Chains A and B, each alone.
Chain A
Amino acid sequence: MADRPRIKLPKEAKQGEIIQIKTLVSHLMESGQRKDAQGKTIPRKIINKFTCEFNGKAVFACALEPAISANPYIQFDARVDEAGTFKFAWTDDDGTVITAEEKITLKA
């Protein structure tokens, strides 16, 4: 399930502009509460942390809990003071990290 995350943000922004960032990542978000056909508990496997950095500075982060449905959609705002790169990271319970990057430039 190494799908590309879906990310939407403007390609360019004015200096100091507040932009909206939308992200959607494909993940099963197995809660750890369900049982399989044999009655055994299916182990928990969720994305437990999401972070967004801009040019190395933290912009947004959140912890995700088992009650969040599959394919978590996260939307937030960020102020853009300079051109640069947004780095997104979704951390799985098993330690794997899904990452993505988007560049943004300043409007002249």
Chain B
Amino acid sequence: MVARYDSLALLTAVALVLSGFAASGQEAERKGIPAPPGHVFKTIISGYEYRSKETRALQDDDLENPGFLAIERATDMWKTVEGSEGKSCMSCHGDAETSMKGVGAAMPKWSEKLNKPVNLEQQINICRSEHMKAEPWAFKSQQLTDMTAFVRNQSRGMPVTVKTDGPMSPWFEKGKQIYYTRVGQLDLACASCHEQNNGKFLRADFLSQGQSNGFPTYRLRDQRLIPLHERFEGCMFDVRGVPYKPLSDEFLALELYVAWRGIGLPVETPSVRN
């Protein structure tokens, strides 16, 4: 029995050394951008860097990238008149390539009217119900996710630039608090995985820094575009917690805080992830 325990211990030691090598080997290849002073990371790394070269190739080719099917659907929707006002997105905003450039990179944004921040999904639905007098789209509906991806795509390559000061600062603090609060039966916070253990291999995948620059993202697992709040829900479900509701104040605060954690990263929408 003694001998058996010894060999087990040895095996564990070997495995630890091996996984240590594997992790450092991978890190060396992951390119990021230097973080601003006072940031939690030294280097901010996009989730792209944690994916296999095949998945990256799929994202890099605009024809192969299945996320572009959504972009094309939304390109048509942009011009489609809906609602009792007889308007389309285009009636007010004109050509999305110019009017929406940079919009998606700066979301969530403070709304004076609502006295709270709004994200892209909410802004699209505000436009629909207030200006077009059309039915707002349901969260997770194909239309809303497609349109969100389409607007975000107009900022592709531009750095994420959210404002966190002024009226946004209590929201930022709330988001930060959620990020560091352990939840669920597994008792894990966002930070437990994405801050302390990113780069390590978990659940048959490499843990990323949990950046939001590629959202909505085409997940190969789901074979469709996934909006950010659905991913948040998924993470909370995985730690066996009760997720907040999509587009709730909690997720909105978290979206703001997570966007700040990736400040300066290029927008990649539609990205391709596992």
- Chain A residues in contact with chain B, CB under 8 A? 3-4, 6, 8, 22, 24, 26, 29, 69-71, 73
Quick check: which of B68-76, B88-96, B148-156 contacts chain A, the rest being far away? B68-76
* Residues 72-87 (chain B) with a chain A CB within 8 angstroms: 72-73
Contacts of B68 in A (CB 8 A): 6
Of A6, A22, A24, A71, the contact of B223 (CB 8 Å cutoff): A71
* Docked-complex contact A3 and B73, CB < 8 angstroms: yes
Q: Are B64 and A22 touching (Cβ within 8 A)?
A: yes
Q: Which residue of A lies closest to B73 (CB)?
A: A3
The CA of A3 and the CA of B73, in the complex, are separated in Å by 7
Interfacial chain B residues near A71, Cβ < 8 Å: 66, 69, 223
Contacts of B66 in A (CB 8 A): 24, 70-71, 73
How many angstroms from the CA of A106 to the CA of B221 in the assembled complex? 42
Cα(A26)–Cα(B218), bound, Å: 13
The distance in angstroms between the C-alpha atoms of A22 and B62, with both chains bound, is 11
Whether A3 and B69, one on each chain, are in contact in the complex, defined by CB atoms closer than 8 angstroms, is yes
B64 touches A73 (CB 8 A): yes
Q: Tell me the B19-70 residues at the A interface (CB within 8 Å).
A: 63-64, 66, 68-69
Tell me if A6 and B72 are in contact (CB < 8 A): yes
Interface residues of B (CB under 8 A from A): 63-64, 66, 68-69, 72-73, 220, 223-224
A22-B224 Cα distance, complex, nearest whole Å: 20
Chain A residues with Cβ under 8 A from B72's Cβ? Answer: 3-4, 6
Residues of B within 8 A of A22 (CB): 63-64
State the majority secondary structure of interface residues on A.
Answer: loop
Q: Which partner residue on chain A sits nearest B70 by CB separation?
A: A26
Given A22-B64, A24-B66, A69-B220, 13 other A-B residues pairs in contact with their CB atoms under 8 A: A4-B72, A6-B72, A24-B63, A24-B64, A24-B69, A26-B69, A26-B73, A29-B223, A69-B223, A70-B223, A70-B224, A71-B69, A71-B223
Q: What are 22 residue pairs bridging A and B, where the CB atoms are less than 8 Å apart in the complex?
A: A3-B69, A3-B72, A3-B73, A4-B72, A6-B63, A6-B68, A8-B63, A22-B63, A22-B64, A24-B64, A24-B66, A26-B69, A26-B73, A29-B223, A69-B223, A70-B66, A70-B223, A70-B224, A71-B66, A71-B223, A73-B64, A73-B66
How far is it, in angstroms, between the C-alpha of A69 and the C-alpha of B66 when the chains are bound?
A: 11
- Give the shortest distance, in Å, between B153 (CB) and chain A (any CB): 15
Residue of B nearest to A29 (CB): B223
| Chain B residue nearest in CB terms to A22 | B63
Could you say which residues of chain A place their CB within 8 Å of the CB of B64? 22, 24, 73
For A29, the chain B residues whose CB sits under 8 A away are: 223
Q: How far is the CA of A6 from the CA of B71 in the complex (A)?
A: 12
Question: With a CB–CB cut-off of 8 A, which chain A residues contact B224?
Answer: 70
Q: What 6 pairs between A and B have smallest CB-CB spacing? A: A70-B223, A26-B69, A71-B66, A8-B63, A69-B223, A22-B63
Q: How far is the CA of A70 from the CA of B218 in the complex (A)?
A: 11
Shortest CB distance B171–A (Å): 35
Q: How far is the CB of B145 from chain A (nearest CB, A)?
A: 14
**How many Å lie between the Cα of A24 and that of B58 in the bound state?**
12
- Inter-chain CA distance A29–B63, complex, in Å, is 19
Residues of A within 8 A of B63 (CB): 6, 8, 22, 24
> Which residue of chain B lies nearest to A26 when distances are taken between CB atoms in the complex?
B69
Cβ contacts under 8 Å, A69 to chain B = 220, 223
Residues of B within 8 A of A8 (CB): 63
Residue of A nearest to B67 (CB): A71
Cα(A70)–Cα(B223), bound, Å: 6
B220 neighbours in A (Cβ, 8 Å): 69
Report the minimum CB–CB distance from A57 to chain B (whole Å): 25
